[in-house]
């Protein structure tokens, strides 16, 4: 019998995490401080599971749903679990309060992973008795469609706790990476930030429209990025591999990097101009349906990747 997992905070990300664990066969106990969220969360999860079933990404929405229980108290949620995935609001006071409550409520061998997008674990675990079992396990939204999880220890996190979350994430079909020590934005948002900062700058300087900058990724770079990263990309883009690529193009990239030595904040006028172009292409009232479209595209991509992996044999 698989040991239950607790998910604390049942918003967008917490609900998504409950699907990840339950889909893999783990009993899941969800708790949220908001009674309204507790009442409604299962309906949203059911819709997500039915979509997953329609893309043949799970066999039965009902059987996955049957493994998820909503609890009325934090203590009920963590009773007898081996792992807690905290997914509450992204502020230091809220993270500090909930992690202290979890530290008090959980047996000492229970590992506590936080979904924090950017607040490092050292900012809210320093004074806890069980601070060695706390770390960041940062997902991508929605975690049941995008498998990456960044594991980021605080200076006092026990390496065994990191390893146990790595093993759990692998067992449930996620793809963990290890960030050796705390850094703003971890790895994912630093990479995303580098691309976004360049996109804003190119737009501001009038080199291309927002639509064409987006197209450069959706019709260009992003096609490879859905199955390989930047290092493997360049390793395959020169006959002799990465060193050969560097010999040919390192000077160009150095020149590009030198042209951006003074990062600027995203200014209001700039944001307004991108917003104006985006709202012309996608009116505000269509944002929600476009998000649903994005999730269906992600499901189709996940289904394709499963089939392609089997067909290609990797
Ligand atoms: N949304 C994303 O794209 C995304 C991606 C990766 C990580 N994250 C991170 O995941 C976490 C949750 O984000 P979200 O987008 O699901 O937010 P959300 O606002 O949708 O959900 C947060 C939930 O936490 C609950 N909550 C707040 N304080 C609580 C407490 N003390 N006890 C119990 N429940 C409490 C709220 O009622 C709410 O339902 C944040 O740390 C966020 O940065 C978000």
Contact 137, 114 (CB under 8 A): yes
Atom of ligand 1 nearest to the CA of 98: 31
Question: Distance between CA atoms of 126 and 117, rounded to whole angstroms?
Answer: 18
Task: Walk me through the domains of the chain, giving residue ranges and CATH numbers.
Answer: 5-178 (3.40.50.720), 188-281 (1.10.1040.10)
User: Cα(94) to centroid of ligand 1, in Å?
Assistant: 10
What is the reported pLDDT for 310?
Answer: 85
What is the reported pLDDT for 113?
Answer: 98
Q: What is the pLDDT of residues 60-106, one digit of tens each?
A: 999 999 999 999 999 999 999 999 999 999 999 999 999 999 999 99
Minimal CA–CA distance to 40: which of 73, 77, 11?
Answer: 11
Contact 78, 29 (CB under 8 A): yes
Burial class (CB in 10 A: 0-12, 13-18, 19+), 133: buried
User: Cα(12) to centroid of ligand 1, in Å?
Assistant: 7
Q: What is the pLDDT of residues 264-286, one digit of tens each?
A: 999 999 999 999 999 999 999 99
Contact 161, 133 (CB under 8 A): yes
What is the reported pLDDT for 311?
Answer: 87
The tokens describing 247, both together, are 């010999």
Mapped onto helix, strand or coil, the DSSP state of residue 259 is coil
What is the reported pLDDT for 80?
Answer: 95
**Residues lining ligand 1, CB < 6 A?**
8-14, 32-34, 37, 87-90, 94, 97-98, 115-117, 138-139, 141
Question: Distance between CA atoms of 127 and 219, rounded to whole angstroms?
Answer: 48
What is the reported pLDDT for 1?
Answer: 65
For ligand 1, atom 20: residue with the closest CA: 11
Q: What is the pLDDT along the chain (314 residues), one digit of tens a residue?
A: 689 999 999 999 999 999 999 999 999 999 999 999 999 999 999 999 999 999 999 999 999 999 999 999 999 999 999 999 999 999 999 999 999 999 999 999 999 999 999 999 999 999 999 999 999 999 999 999 999 999 999 999 999 999 999 999 999 999 999 999 999 999 999 999 999 999 999 999 999 999 999 999 999 999 999 999 999 999 999 999 999 999 999 999 999 999 999 989 999 999 999 999 999 999 999 999 999 999 999 999 999 998 888 888 77
- Alpha helices in the chain, H assignment, sequence order: 12-23, 35-54, 61-65, 74-78, 92-105, 122-125, 159-171, 188-204, 210-216, 222-225, 230-236, 242-258, 268-281, 287-312
User: Cα(276) to centroid of ligand 1, in Å?
Assistant: 29
C-alpha distances in Å from residue 269, one per residue of 196, 204, 266: 16, 9, 9
User: Cα(254) to centroid of ligand 1, in Å?
Assistant: 39
Q: pTM for the complete prediction?
A: 0.95
């Amino acid at each position: 019998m698989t040991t239950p997992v607790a998910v604390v905070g049942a918003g967008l990300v917490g609900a998504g995490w409950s699907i990840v664990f339950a889909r893999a066969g783990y009993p899941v106990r969800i708790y949220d401080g908001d009674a309204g969220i507790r009442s409604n969360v299962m309906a949203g999860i059911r819709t997500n599971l039915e979509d997953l079933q329609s893309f043949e990404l799970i066999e039965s929405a009902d059987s996955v749903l049957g493994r998820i229980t909503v609890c009325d108290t934090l203590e009920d949620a963590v009773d007898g679990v081996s792992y807690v995935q905290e997914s509450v609001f992204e502020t230091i006071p809220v993270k500090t309060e909930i992690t202290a409550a979890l530290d008090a409520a959980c047996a000492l061998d229970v590992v506590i992973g936080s979904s924090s997008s950017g607040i490092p674990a050292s900012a809210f675990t320093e004074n806890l008795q069980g601070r060695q079992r706390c770390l960041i396990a940062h997902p991508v939204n929605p975690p049941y469609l995008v498998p990456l999880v960044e594991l980021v220890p605080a200076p006092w996190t026990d390496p065994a706790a990191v390893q146990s979350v790595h093993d759990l994430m692998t067992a449930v079909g996620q793809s963990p990476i290890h960030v050796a020590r705390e850094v703003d934005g971890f790895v994912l948002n630093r990479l995303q930030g580098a691309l976004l900062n360049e996109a804003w700058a190119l737009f501001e300087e009038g080199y291309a429209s927002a639509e064409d900058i987006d197209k450069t990724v959706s019709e260009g770079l992003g096609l490879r990025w859905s199955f390989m990263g930047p290092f493997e990309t360049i390793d395959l883009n020169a006959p002799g591999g990465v060193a050969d690529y560097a010999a040919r193009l390192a000077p160009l990239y150095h020149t590009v990097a030198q042209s951006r030595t003074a990062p600027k904040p995203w200014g209001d006028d700039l944001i307004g101009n991108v917003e104006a172009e985006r709202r012309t292409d996608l009116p505000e009232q269509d944002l929600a349906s476009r998000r649903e479209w994005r999730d269906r595209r992600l499901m189709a991509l996940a289904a394709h990747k499963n089939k392609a992996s089997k067909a290609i044999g990797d």
